[in-house]
Amino acid sequence: MDDASILPGSAASRIEDLLRQFVSRAHELLETQERMRGLLAAVVSIAEDLTLEAVLDRVVRSARDLVGAKYAALGVIGSDGTALTHFLTVGMDDETVQRIGTAPTGHGVLGLLIHDPHPLRLHDLGAHADSLGFPPEHPPMRTFLGVPIRVRDEVFGNLYLTEKADGEDFNAEDEDLVVALAAAAGVAIENARLFADIGRRQRWREASMDVAGRLFGLEDLTTGSGFIAEQTVAIADAQVAGIARARSTGMGHEWRAVAGSRKECFDETARATAIALAAKVSITGETLELPGPEVFGPGTLVRYALVVPCGQPGQDAGAVVIGRVDGEPAFAPVDIEMAPVFCSYASLALQVARQHRQREELLVFTDRDRIARDLHDVVIQRLFAAGLSLQGLRRFCAPGPDGERAAEKIDSITGELDETIAALRNTIYSLNEAKSGDSLSARLVRVVQEVTGELPTTPRVELLGPIDTAVPPAVADQALAVLTEGVSNVVRHAHADSLWVTATVADGEFELVVADDGHGLGDTTRRSGLKNVAERAEALGGHFEVGPAEDGGTRLCWAVPVTVVLS
């Protein structure tokens, strides 16, 4: 008997159904197991690299392979949370992408996930009410699956998948797999971001150390602000940067340097608009991240602006304005965090380099003083005594030819000693002249130090431009006399607590400003001294002004062209 004759027909049919169900469930189980393996492989794949670009590329490729889609894309949402700033695609060749043109920014169906970040499955993408259609060269796309990617509580971007294999719709299982992959992708993206932030911070720190070392090596420290601006542009990946400092008179701020490939954006309008913000940040020590037009004025190419202090709150050490133009990304949080550190470090390094340079010059001058003093007090006196002793030997010369030759020899030696003494005196004079003529900047600082010993606070001296190379000796001598007169008036008559001195060479003119916070000119100020100052300016073809300062006290301004030399 065969098997069919043993079982009733209904029982055999039921067993066959059960076997078919078992085989079907087994196939589903195998498919599920295979998909889970694919999901696990995708998670491992996206975690293998720590660079953000590589992680994003692996995420979008893994999502496509996981659900069998023909095309896949990942859109990164911008900081404003309203549009896509980056769009990565997989499945199209470069030629097709180029023919399509501008990448999507988050309009139409793609924008639904931006405003409502939940998974979305569509049978026909083009039939949706929010669909805006496709560009002429765009390949046809029908089935659609979109899933948001979250990094912690923030929506980082969205995964877009289209055209499932065999024309089938994306099902709930596909959605669950991509949602799980998106969760793992969120962790991988966060790790990549942290890794990138660590590298970015390290780059800022290395740049801070490098700029400090290079500032100490500058031959002309008057170019220090320009050098810092250039380095700021490089490290911040910016296109323009400007440095503002407080005027040495204590009244207002001014721009010292502008650098960058788009420094034309720092026109007169931008300078006038940004100086108030720079002054505020310089005093408060608070970094400001603002839209470009708020800092550089309307119509500017600068889209993102960062106003960074160069010191601690209350120091008023200046500020740096950094700009990125249209098409560039916004400043990352790590840039906003590290930019003040870099600018403060660079500003402090420039200040220390200037003080070190002045200290070296003062040491040279001190050594020259010692040499001149030793030559005068010791060497010349000994030579003079030796000459007198030789002249005293003439009385011992006996009459006759031998005595006459001895007397001539004594006179010859005495004459050589006189010449040596004269040469030494010239050397001493040259040392003193070198002390007063080699470096105008050091002489200006020394005058302030020597005259202001009775002031309750240390005077603030600021030297701008090529003072030591562009100012002729005649102008330098007159400037020293003017500075002595101006500072002496402050010490004797102004009853001031603070003194500011600024010497500037710019646009073919040397300008000397002496300002204080005292009681003003008054009636006791020696007018004859000020008259002499005015005459010195007139003799050099310049001008002289003295009057009350904006915030009280007195301001003296003496300016002459640096091309004029007294006859």
pLDDT digits (tens, 9 = 90+) for 247-265: 755 567 888 889 999 988 8
Do residues 109 and 130 touch, judged by C-beta distance below 8 A?
Answer: yes
Residue 553 pLDDT greater than 80, yes or no: yes
Which of 373-377, 457-461, 514-518 is predicted with the least confidence, judged by mean pLDDT?
373-377
Enter the pTM of the model.
0.57
Report yes or no: 323 and 292 within 8 Å, Cβ to Cβ.
Answer: yes
Confidence tier at 77 by pLDDT (50, 70, 90): confident
Domains 33-195 and 220-331 share a fold: yes
Distances (CA, A) of 150 to 147, 188, 232: 10, 11, 33
Decide if pLDDT at 565 tops 50: no
Domain ranges of the chain: 33-195, 220-331, 347-438, 439-567
Question: Measured between alpha carbons, how far is 151 from 87 in angstroms, rounded to an integer?
Answer: 17
Residue 31 has pLDDT above 70, yes or no: no
Tokens encoding 10: 């209904």
Phi, psi for residue 203 in degrees, rounded to 5: -65, -40
pLDDT at 371: 72
Cβ-Cβ contacts under 8 Å for 279 (sequence gap 6 or more): 244, 246, 252, 253, 319
Q: Is CATH 3.30.450.40 the classification given to domain 33-195?
A: yes
Which range is least confidently modeled, 27-41, 96-110, 389-403?
27-41
Mode of pairing for the β-strands spanning 120-122 and 144-151: antiparallel
Percent of the chain beyond pLDDT 70?
84
The residue to which tokens 């600024």 are assigned:
502
Residue whose entry in the numeric block shows the structure tokens 């050589």: 416
What single string gives the DSSP state of each residue in 104-145?
P-S-THHHHHHHS-S-EEES-GGGSTT-----TTPPP---EE
- What does the angle CA 248 – CA 454 – CA 445 come to, to the nearest 5 degrees? 45
CB 502 within 8 A of CB 249: yes
**Domain with residues 220-331, CATH architecture:** 2-Layer Sandwich (3.30)
Rounded-to-integer distance, Cα 322 and Cα 340, Å: 11
What is the CATH architecture assignment of 439-567?
2-Layer Sandwich (3.30)
Q: What is the mean pLDDT of the chain?
A: 81
Least confident of 20-34, 100-114, 403-417, 551-565: 20-34
**What average pLDDT score do residues 33-38 get?**
63
Alpha helices for 398-439 (secondary structure H): 401-437
